[in-house]
Structure 1
Amino acid sequence: MKKNQTQIDMLKDIAMQIIEKCDGLPLAVKVMGGLLRQKRMRRREWNNVLNHSVWSVSQMPEELNYAIYLSYHDLPPSWKSCFLHYSLLPKGTRFYVHEVVAMWISEGFVHGDSHDLEELGRQYYEELILRNLIEPDKKYIDQEVCSMHDVVRSFAQYIARNEALVAHGIESGIFGTLNSKKFFWVSLESTGSESDELEWSSLQNHISVRTLISVGPIKFNLSYSLLSFSCLRILHIQYAKFDTLNELFFRLKHLRYLSVKHSNISKLPESIGKMKFLQYIYLFGCQRLVKLPGSTGKLQQLRLLNLSGTSIHHIPRGLGVLTNLRKLFAFPAQTDGEWCSLEELGPLSQLTELHIRGLENVPSSSFASKAKLSEKVLLSYLRLSCTSRHGHDGGLVKYDEKIFEEKQRLIEEVFDELCPPPCIENLPILKYFGRRLPKWMMSTAVVPLGNLRILTMVDLPFCAELPDGLCQLPCLEFLQIDRITSINHVGRKFQQPSRHSVLGSIVDLEVLESPELERICNLPKLQRLCISMCPKIKELDGLSALHTLNLEDYDMKTLPGYLQGINISHLQIYCDISLLTSIAKGNSSPEWDKFYHIQQVKAYADDDNNDDRVAQKWYVSYTRDPFSFETNYIGASTFVSGEGEEEAMSLRRARKPLPPTRCLRRFPSEPEM
C-alpha cells in the first residue's frame, strides 16, 4: 500500500498537467483516466501521454477531441475497428454484448482460435469499457448492455466517415446526395414518418457494403434489394415490415450474421441451408414465425441461434449435428414425433449459453437426463423456464388436485435431471411450479454451483423456502427473487455464516413481489438492496454494509418502521401520491422521523388524476448535509425548522420534474435471451 501511495505521489504532478490539458471537460478527464490505467505507473510512460504531439495540433477538427484521439490512437488495430464499428449502432436501440461481439467476429476483427472467438471478443468489449470509450448501462448487470457518449460517437463516426454511411433519423432524398465514396458499413435508422422512403437505387451502387444495419419501419423489398450487396457479412434488420426472405437470399454467400429482430417475417427460405458461412441467427421478437426450415441442420458453422419471442414450438430433427453452436436461446422442449427433443442437446459440447423453455412439456425425466447438461464443461449461462403458469394461482391452465400434484412431481423430477456443470456462473429459473427447488440446489453443499455469480428466480409460486445450501456459495454476487409468492422465511443456515463462505458474500440483492416475506437479515456484505411489492417485511437486520435501499410499492401508505433502525446513505422510494404528499411536508410529516437521518432521500409518484395526457411525475428530494429539501409537488406545504431553515425556505417547486429512474435492474437474460 505504501509503495502504491508513493507511486501516486510521484505521478501526481503529471496527472494534474494532463487534467489541465483536458480543459476541465469531465468526459475528457474520464477517457484520459481510462488510457492512463492501461499504462505502467512510471513517469516516462505518463510523460509520453502528457507530451504527445496531438496536444500541439492547433487546428484539430471540431469532431476530434484531443483526449479521445489519444485513447483511440493507443488502441491496437483490431480494437480500433471494433470501436469504430460500435459507433454504427443507433443509440436509441439496445444491443446486447453477444450481438456486438458477433458482429465483430463476422467482420473479422477478432483474431484467435475459433473455439475462443466469443471470449476474445468479450475481452475487446471489456477493454473499451475500461478505457471509458463505452459505458455500461446500470440497469443491466454484468455489463450486458453499454452505451456510447454522444461526443465519443461523433468522434468515431468522423474517423470512419470515408468508409461508413450513418443516417440516423433519415429523411426522404438522403441517398440522392451520395457521392462516389466506397462505403463498407451502412447504418440507417428510420423515424417512422411517412417521408422515410429510401432511394435504394443509389445505395445499391455500393456493392462493397459488408455491414448493413437498419432500424425502424423502412420500406423496401428486402429480398431483391439486398442481392446486389454480394460482399455482405452482417445484416441487422430491426422493426422492418416484410413477410419473408426470397429463396434467392442464399446468394449472399459471405453472410455471417443475420438478425431480423421484431419483424413480421413468417417464413425463412428453405435455401438458407446453402449459406455455408452463416454463424449467427437472431429471430428475437418475430412472433409470426412458427417454424424453422428443415435445412437449418446443414448450417455447420452456426455458433448462435436465438428463437426468443418467436412462435416456434418445434424444431426439425438434426440440431444435434450443429456441434459448433455456442449459444442457443429459447430451445423448445418438445418430444413429439419428428421434432427435435432434449436428447439432441447432448452432443452440443461447445455450448456456453443455453436457454430451454417449455419444460412442462417434457413427459419424463429420462428425456431431461439425455440433454447431458452436467457434462457441458464450457456452459456458463443456463436459463430454465416453463412457458405458462399452472394450478390454482390464477394461471392459464387449471387441473384438478390429483392431476396437478402429479404434474408438480414430474416437473420436480425433470429439473432434478437438468443439473448444470460446476462452471455455471449465471442461472435464471423462471415459471417453475414445483413445490421445492431442484435437488442440486437443495443440497447443503450445492456442489454444482461453486462458481455461480448470478442467481435469478422469477415466478415460482409454490416454493416456500430458500435452500440452506445457498449460504455456502463462495462466488455469488447478485441474487434476484421475483414473485416467489409462497416464501415466508429462509432457512437458518441460509442466514448464518458457514466455515467455508456465506451467502453473506452478496453485495447486491433484489427481492420482488414476495408478499409473504417478513425478514431480510444476516447479510454482512450487502451494499445495495431493492425491495419491490413486499408489504409484510418488518425487519432488516445484520446488514452492516448496506448503503443504498430502493423501495417500490404503490399501495404503501406509510414508510416502513424499520427505516429508523438502519444506517444507510441513500434511499429511493416509488410510492403512491398520498405517501409522497406526506413526505413532501418535511419535518411536519409523520414520516420525518423515519428518514431524516439518511444522507440522501428521493421519492417519486405518478399523479394518475392529472388531466394531462401524460401523468405528472412528482418528486421529493432531501439531502441531510449540506441541507436541501426540494419538491415539485404543488400541494406541498413544507417547512423545516432549526438547522437548515434558510435552505428549506428556498424550496423549488418547478413544474418540470426530475425524471425518475425505476429501482429495478433486469437480469441480463431478460427479455432477449
Structure 2
Amino acid sequence: MLWSSFGHQNHSRGYKDKGCECEGVGKGSPSGAWSSKEIPNKILPALYLSYQDLPSQLEQCFLCSTLFSRTFTRPFAVSVWISEGFITPNGDTALEELGNDSYRELVRRNIFMVNPTHYDESACMMHDLVRGLAVSMGQGAHYSGDLQGLKNSPTKPRHISLVDDGLSTIPNEIVDCDSLRTLICRTPQLRNIRADLFEKHRRLRVLVFSWTKIERLPRTIGYLIHLIYLNVSCTRLEELPESMGLLRNLQFLVLHGCKCLHNLPNSIVRLPKLRSIVLLNTPISQMPKGIGELKDLQVLSGFVLGDKRSVSNQGSTMEDLKHLTQLTNLVCYHLERVPSGTEAKEAALGSKPSLRYVELHCDEQQSPEEEEKDRIKQVFEGLCPPPCIENIEIHFFFGRELPRWLVTTNSSSLSNLRWLKLTNCEYIQRLPSLGLLPQLKYLSIQGASKIVAVGPEFFGESGGGFPKLEEMYIKDMPNWEDWHLTQWPNDGVPLLPCLRKLALEDCPKLKSIPGTLIRRATSLKDLHICKAGNLSNLVERSASITKAVILDCPLLEDISNLAQLQHLDIGGCPAIKRMDNMCSLKYLLLRDKEMEAMPNWMQSIMMQLQRLELWVNPDFIRQCLPLNGPGQPKIILHNPSRIFDETVESLLHTRSPYSFQINLTQETMEGVTVLPLDETSQHSQI
C-alpha cells in the first residue's frame, strides 16, 4: 500500500530522469521531502510525499475523511464533501458526479481501500497509517475521538467527530466550542439533544446523529439556516418538527432505518435546495403532498405513494414524480396502490435524462386475484425507465409476466443496464431473455417460486449469451427442476465470456447445471452451490474454476474434472464418492459434524494439500492425529494445516518452521499419545 501510494505520486510528477529514481522528491523543500523538518514525527515519509502531491480539493476531502468511521460509504463521503464546500462547481456537471470523481481518484491513489464486498465500489476504508497521516495533518481544524481527548485538545476544532460509548446527552464541551461547522456524534447511548446546542451553533453545515437513541429533535433546529447535511438514520425518532421547514439551505436529508418514524412534516416541501431524501427501511405511510415541487431533487430513496382507498389520503401520487426531472436515484414503495397503468405513466420515468438507479417495490401479496395480477403488470408497463438507466431492482412484483420493456428481445431500451435484481417475483412463470442485455454485469434472481424450467431463451438464444455478465446469483427457487442449454448456437457464439462468479442457493429440485455453461464460461473462477438437494454430479470439465463452495447437496456423488480448482469448501454432502482430476487442489475445508470416518475421496487428495481445515466431530479428529501403537496416522501433513471442530478443538501443524499444537477436550485426548511427525521435529505440545 505504501509503495503504491508513493508510486502514484511519483508517476503524477512525471520524472524525466530515469537514471535517478528520487529526482523531484524534494520539490518545495531545499533539503528534500525525506528530510524536511515539516514532516511530523512517526509519519512515514513516503506517505507524506503522497499527501504533498494532492491537489487542494483532494487534500480537503482527504483531511475531512478523518471524521468518518473506519469504514464508510461513497454517498456519505461525497455528501459531506459537498456540504463542506470542498467540491467546486464545474460547468453543467452535477456536484455529486464531481464528488464521485474525487472519491475514485483517492481510491486510485490507494488512499482509500475499496471494500470488495460492494460490487460498485461504494464502500471503503482508510489504512491506519494513512488515517494517522490525515489526523496529523488536520490537527487544529479537525478532531475525531472521545470526550476526554476533546477536553485535552490544545486547539478548538471546528469539525468534530465525537466517538464515545458512554454519553447520553450533548456535553458542555461541545456546546461551548467556537464556530462549530461539523458535528458527527458516534455516540450510541445518546438520548438527549440540548436545545441550546442549535441556538449556539447556528453556522453548522453538517450534523450527524445516526445510530443513537434520540427520540426527538428540538424545535430549535430551525435556527440552523446554514445546515446542508442532516443524518439521523437508525435512531428512535418518532417525528420531525415542523421547524424543519426553516432549513432553507438543507440539501441532504438522511432518515433511513428510523423504525418509529411514520410521517414527515408537511413543511419539508418548503426546502427549495433539497437534493437528496433517503428513507430506506423507514415505515413512512405516505409522502407529504407537494413533494413534486422540490425541483432540485436528485435522490429520492423512499417515495411512498398515498393510499387512495384511505379516507384521510392526502399523500403523493405518481404525478408528483413528473416534474422531478433531475432525478438520478429513485426508490418507490407501495406500487400496489397505483390504480392503473395510465396513472403510472404520469411519473414519466422514461423522460428523466439523468435517471441511473431505480427500485420498484410492491407490498407482499397473499394469493392475489387474477385481475390484480393483470393490473400490476399494466402499472409496471407504465414505469418504463429511460435508456440511460444502469441499475434496476424489482421487489414483490405479483404479475404473471414481467413488463415488456424488460423482456423484449430488442435490448436497445436498456442498452446501458449494468445491474438487475429481481426479488420475490413469485408469480412469474418464465424468465425473460436477459442474456440479450449488452452491458449487464450483475444479475440476481431470488424467490421466483413458480419457475419450473429455464431454457436457452433465458440466455438469448438468438446470440446474446450475457456478453458482459460477471456475477450471477439465483436463490430460493423451490420448484425449479430443469436447466437446459441443448439448443445453444455453435461455438462461434460466446456464452457468458466474462462470468466470474456463479452462485446457486436453495434450489432443492434442480437436477443439473448445464455442461455447456460450465465449459463455455471460460472466465468462471468462483462457483457456489448451496442446498441443491437433487443435484447428483458436477463432472463437466472446467479449465477456469479456482474456488468452489458446495454445501448441503445430499445426493451429490461426483465432483471431478475441475483441473484448476485450488480452494474447496464442502459440507453436507455425505454421498460423495469420487473427486477425480483435481490436481491443483491446495486447500480443503470440510464441514460435517456427522462424519465419523475419513472418506476415500479425501484420502486420495491428502498428499497434495497445503492447508486442511475440518469442522467435524472429535472421533474424526482422533483419526487425524499421529497416534502411538497400531493406530498409525492416516494423514501426513506436509504443509501448514489446521484441523478443528465447532467445539473449538483444533490441531495446527506447520512443517517449516516446525510446530505442532493441538487444543482438544480431555475426552477426545483420552488414550492419545502425540508424537513428533518426523525426526527433525523441534517440539510437540498440548
Normalization by structure 2: what TM-score?
Answer: 0.78
Conserved 8 A contact 2:302-2:332 = yes
Residue in structure 2 matched with residue 6 of structure 1 by the alignment: none
Taking a change above 3 Å as real, the CA distance of residues 207 and 230 of structure 1, as seen in their structure-2 partners, is farther
SS of equivalent residue, structure 1 residue 354: strand
The 2-side partners of 1:196 and 1:355 are apart by: 35
The 2-side partners of 1:560 and 1:551 are apart by: 15
Residue in structure 2 matched with residue 422 of structure 1 by the alignment: 387
Conserved 8 A contact 1:386-1:430 = yes
CA RMSD in angstroms, aligned pairs only:
3.5
State the AA in 2 paired with 1:652. Answer: R
The 1-side partners of 2:650 and 2:273 are apart by: 52
Residue in structure 2 matched with residue 413 of structure 1 by the alignment: 378
Where do residues 213-232 of structure 1 align in structure 2 (5 Å cutoff)? Answer: 213-215=184-186, 216-232=188-204
The 1-side partners of 2:555 and 2:141 are apart by: 56
Give, in angstroms, the shift of residue 599 of structure 1.
Answer: 4.0
State the AA in 2 paired with 1:512. Answer: K
Residue in structure 1 matched with residue 68 of structure 2 by the alignment: 89
Conserved 8 A contact 1:317-1:339 = yes
2:456 equivalent to 1:478: no
2:611 equivalent to 1:629: yes
Residue in structure 2 matched with residue 443 of structure 1 by the alignment: 408
The 1-side partners of 2:484 and 2:3 are apart by: 41
State the AA in 2 paired with 1:478. Answer: Y
Q: Which is worse superposed, 376-385 or 65-74?
A: 65-74
2:638 equivalent to 1:652: no
The 2-side partners of 1:62 and 1:595 are apart by: 56
* Aligned equivalent of 2:497, options 524, 543, 547: 524
SS of equivalent residue, structure 2 residue 435: helix
State the AA in 2 paired with 1:127. Answer: E
Q: Which is worse superposed, 411-420 or 304-313?
A: 304-313
Where do residues 3-22 of structure 1 align in structure 2 (5 Å cutoff)? Answer: none
SS of equivalent residue, structure 1 residue 374: helix
- Runs (5+) with no aligned partner, structure 1: 1-26, 392-398, 610-619, 659-673
2:339 equivalent to 1:363: yes
SS of equivalent residue, structure 1 residue 428: strand
2:512 equivalent to 1:512: no
Q: Percent identity?
A: 27
Conserved 8 A contact 1:572-1:601 = no
* Aligned equivalent of 2:208, options 236, 261, 265: 236
* Aligned equivalent of 2:85, options 105, 108, 113: 108
Give, in angstroms, the shift of residue 563 of structure 1.
Answer: 4.8
Residue in structure 2 matched with residue 156 of structure 1 by the alignment: 134
2:562 equivalent to 1:562: no
* Aligned equivalent of 1:69, options 48, 59, 66: 48
SS of equivalent residue, structure 2 residue 245: helix
Where do residues 323-334 of structure 1 align in structure 2 (5 Å cutoff)? Answer: 323-334=295-306
The 1-side partners of 2:350 and 2:569 are apart by: 52
The 2-side partners of 1:58 and 1:305 are apart by: 47
* Aligned equivalent of 1:286, options 234, 243, 258: 258
Q: Deviations over 1:495-549 (max 9, x none)?
A: 35656x5413212222222231543764233122222222315124233324422
* Aligned equivalent of 1:372, options 345, 348, 361: 348
Taking a change above 3 Å as real, the CA distance of residues 627 and 110 of structure 1, as seen in their structure-2 partners, is same
State the AA in 1 paired with 2:498. Answer: K
Give, in angstroms, the shift of residue 321 of structure 1.
Answer: 0.9
Give, in angstroms, the shift of residue 258 of structure 1.
Answer: 0.4
Q: Deviations over 1:548-602 (max 9, x none)?
A: 224252x56798521553334422426359999x9889xx994551683454555
Give, in angstroms, the shift of residue 328 of structure 1.
Answer: 0.2
Residue in structure 2 matched with residue 461 of structure 1 by the alignment: 426
Where do residues 26-65 of structure 1 align in structure 2 (5 Å cutoff)? Answer: 27-36=1-10, 38=12, 43=17, 47-48=22-23, 53-57=32-36, 60-65=39-44
State the AA in 2 paired with 1:447. Answer: S
State the AA in 2 paired with 1:323. Answer: K
Residue in structure 2 matched with residue 273 of structure 1 by the alignment: 245
Residue in structure 2 matched with residue 666 of structure 1 by the alignment: none
Conserved 8 A contact 1:558-1:591 = no
State the AA in 2 paired with 1:237. Answer: F
The 2-side partners of 1:461 and 1:600 are apart by: 41
Give, in angstroms, the shift of residue 152 of structure 1.
Answer: 1.4
Larger Rg: 2
The 2-side partners of 1:366 and 1:583 are apart by: 52
The 1-side partners of 2:218 and 2:134 are apart by: 35
SS of equivalent residue, structure 1 residue 593: coil
The 2-side partners of 1:463 and 1:329 are apart by: 26
Conserved 8 A contact 2:278-2:302 = yes
Conserved 8 A contact 2:532-2:553 = no
SS of equivalent residue, structure 1 residue 653: strand
State the AA in 1 paired with 2:610. Answer: S
State the AA in 1 paired with 2:49. Answer: L
Residue in structure 2 matched with residue 23 of structure 1 by the alignment: none
2:171 equivalent to 1:200: yes
Q: Deviations over 1:175-216 (max 9, x none)?
A: 44343x12121112233xxx4456711222213221111122
Normalization by structure 1: what TM-score?
Answer: 0.80
SS of equivalent residue, structure 2 residue 51: helix
Q: Deviations over 1:8-62 (max 9, x none)?
A: xxxxxxxxxxxxxxxxxxx212323444565658556975465662233489545
State the AA in 1 paired with 2:512. Answer: K
Give, in angstroms, the shift of residue 89 of structure 1.
Answer: 0.9
Give, in angstroms, the shift of residue 627 of structure 1.
Answer: 3.8
* Aligned equivalent of 1:452, options 401, 417, 420: 417
The 2-side partners of 1:304 and 1:103 are apart by: 12
Q: Deviations over 1:381-432 (max 9, x none)?
A: 11111132432xxxxxxx5xxxx11111111000000000000011111111
Residue in structure 2 matched with residue 257 of structure 1 by the alignment: 229
SS of equivalent residue, structure 2 residue 306: coil
The 2-side partners of 1:497 and 1:42 are apart by: 54
Taking a change above 3 Å as real, the CA distance of residues 252 and 299 of structure 1, as seen in their structure-2 partners, is same
The 1-side partners of 2:363 and 2:250 are apart by: 29
State the AA in 2 paired with 1:486. Answer: K
State the AA in 1 paired with 2:127. Answer: H
Residue in structure 1 matched with residue 661 of structure 2 by the alignment: none
Q: Deviations over 1:417-458 (max 9, x none)?
A: 000000001111111111111110121103320011111111
Q: Greater relative contact order: 1 or 2 (C-alpha under 8 angstroms, separation 6 or more)?
A: 1
Give, in angstroms, the shift of residue 244 of structure 1.
Answer: 1.5
SS of equivalent residue, structure 1 residue 271: helix
State the AA in 2 paired with 1:507. Answer: E
The 1-side partners of 2:504 and 2:273 are apart by: 45
Give, in angstroms, the shift of residue 493 of structure 1.
Answer: 3.9
Residue in structure 1 matched with residue 399 of structure 2 by the alignment: 434
The 2-side partners of 1:657 and 1:217 are apart by: 39
Conserved 8 A contact 1:239-1:261 = yes
2:159 equivalent to 1:185: yes
The 2-side partners of 1:390 and 1:486 are apart by: 14
Conserved 8 A contact 2:183-2:208 = yes
2:255 equivalent to 1:299: no
State the AA in 2 paired with 1:474. Answer: P
Conserved 8 A contact 1:176-1:202 = yes
Q: Deviations over 1:51-107 (max 9, x none)?
A: 66223348954542222222221111111111111221112xx63322211111000
The 1-side partners of 2:609 and 2:348 are apart by: 60
Conserved 8 A contact 2:248-2:271 = yes
State the AA in 2 paired with 1:77. Answer: S
State the AA in 1 paired with 2:58. Answer: W
Conserved 8 A contact 2:288-2:314 = yes
